[in-house]
Structure 1
Amino acid sequence: MSAGLLFLRLVLVFGWTIGSQCDSDVPAAHTIYDKLSIKRNISKRELKCKEGEYAAENICCKMCPPGSFKFGDCTKDKNTICTPCTEGSTYVDYDNSLDKCMRCKSCDSELDLEVAEHCTVTQDTQCRCKQHYFCSSPGHCRHCDPCSKCENGAIEKECTPTTNTICKRNFWWILVVVGIVIAIASLSAVAVYCYKKKRQDFNLNNQMRHWVVHKPPSPEMERLVYPDVDLSTYIPAIVEEMTLTQVKNFVRRHEIPEPAIEQTVQDYLNDSTEQKIKLFHIWYQHHGMKGAYGNLIVSLRKLSMRTVADKIEKKLNVVTSSSQENGRSNINTAEQSSALSDGHNV
């Protein structure tokens, strides 16, 4: 066998041996890698980071500050690789480990919104309602409503982007209604009072017609002779000698009803003279002229008002005497005239 052929054979045998060993080591290598991966995952799950940090593989990294996002995880120094957001288009407003910034929102003019504050790298766009519009929903405003308009421009508080217009309350119509109600109530009260007054007067007159009883003249009256004098013109002079209490007692004696007495007093509440005159008129109206003079004097004496009776009798006697004298003189004059006429005829 030549040297060249022997060398080639040795190379083939050596290659086959190395290949066989490599094939036998492949499963072992995969097993070791799998064990390391499991251990690494277990370490990552069990890793607890402080506030302001996040877990990256088997190490805690610092979060990126507002206005930036994570471009790459940290190494042993915990300093995360952060990249700033784009001004006016993206932002992040909190510490984060985001892979990119958030997009700024826009204010929709079709929903009556406008920009209140433009977007920055640390703050999103702030929207508000346009002029003459307000937001009716609390918190994040999604649409705006038109402000209310007040009648006659009576505004108590102007509309703002967050509150509707407050109008002043008009109380004039309430005052008008109250005034009308008071007027109607007053007229009704007056009408009721007048009706009751007329009804009371009507009933009083009816009662007086049935209640007043004419007493027959007493024997004492019959024994005394008093002329039938019309007392209606002398009533003021008669009651001048009497008190209001005496007049009331006198008319009660002749059964004038109490309601008639009280009504007369109420009609002339502050005038006692007129009260006496009217009460005496009531008695005289129901008694009549015949025998009234004698009945008056006798009744007063029976009521223990002899002094009053004497004064009234003295006054009336003077009147009646003068009347009788005038009557006699008239008769004598008539007789003389008649005699003279007869003498001339003879």
Structure 2
Amino acid sequence: MEGAELGDFFFCSGNISLPPIIGLILLKCTYLARCTCNCVECREGEFTDSENHLPECRRCLQCQANDGKKTKTNCTITHDTVCSCLENFYSTTNGNECRKCAECNAETDEVEQPCTETQDTVCRKKVHSSVNPAAIVIPIFLVLGAIAGIVGYLCIKKKYCRHIVLTEEHLQMIVMEVEPKIYHQLGISLGQTEPMLQQIRADYHDNIKQQGYHILYSWLQAHGKKGAFPALINTFRKLGYVTTAENIVEKLIPKQEGTIDTSTLDGSENDRVADMVL
């Protein structure tokens, strides 16, 4: 192990007495490993911070400014990049996800607690603030009307949703309707783990749309195609992205309508589909 120091992490290739692995393997260079190998450090932009049998070093995480992040600690061959939030952003997950600080309404609110790196802005109502009741009631009615319209629209479309089998082409279309800033939140809601999301982001750091696609693709592989589309639409609605759900349904369902025999759907079937979509 010429050039390797005891306890350092390197690439090793050669014959070993441990379980055989074809090609390059990653071991901690120790005398107890009993391996004959030529050790090479990870290249710039890659790292490994623990013993494992991966065929290559891991790619360093990129702190993206459009995600509200900046680099706190640069990547080395033994430690990944550490990100922190930009000004006017905060994180409750040690920089894994940065969110934009809320702004208080200058007319009705005042700042009780300014935004910090770990906590959002806290607003409170101004004392003796006089607000025209119409300014509150009218927007509420407008919002309720919009929600009623969306629900009615989905009621018309709902009987088709269960029959849609998601394909890779569908996932590409869906990604175009989703704002990149919610990729992480969507992945967590779909059951993806934090390390998995970080690896996807690192692998496709130069193409943010590919990040969204592979988050959906890995979820679809785990979930299975049966019932995937209603489950995905329901997830968007639970997260509050009703318009996004509506746009996705609008784009996917018209392509399916001509192939669906709606006469085969009885009342109980419609009820089950309605429960899944709404």
**Fold match by TM threshold 0.5:** no
TM-score of the aligned structures, taking structure 2 as reference length: 0.32
Q: Which protein has greater RCO, CA pairs closer than 8 Å, 6+ apart? A: 2
Bigger CA radius of gyration: 1
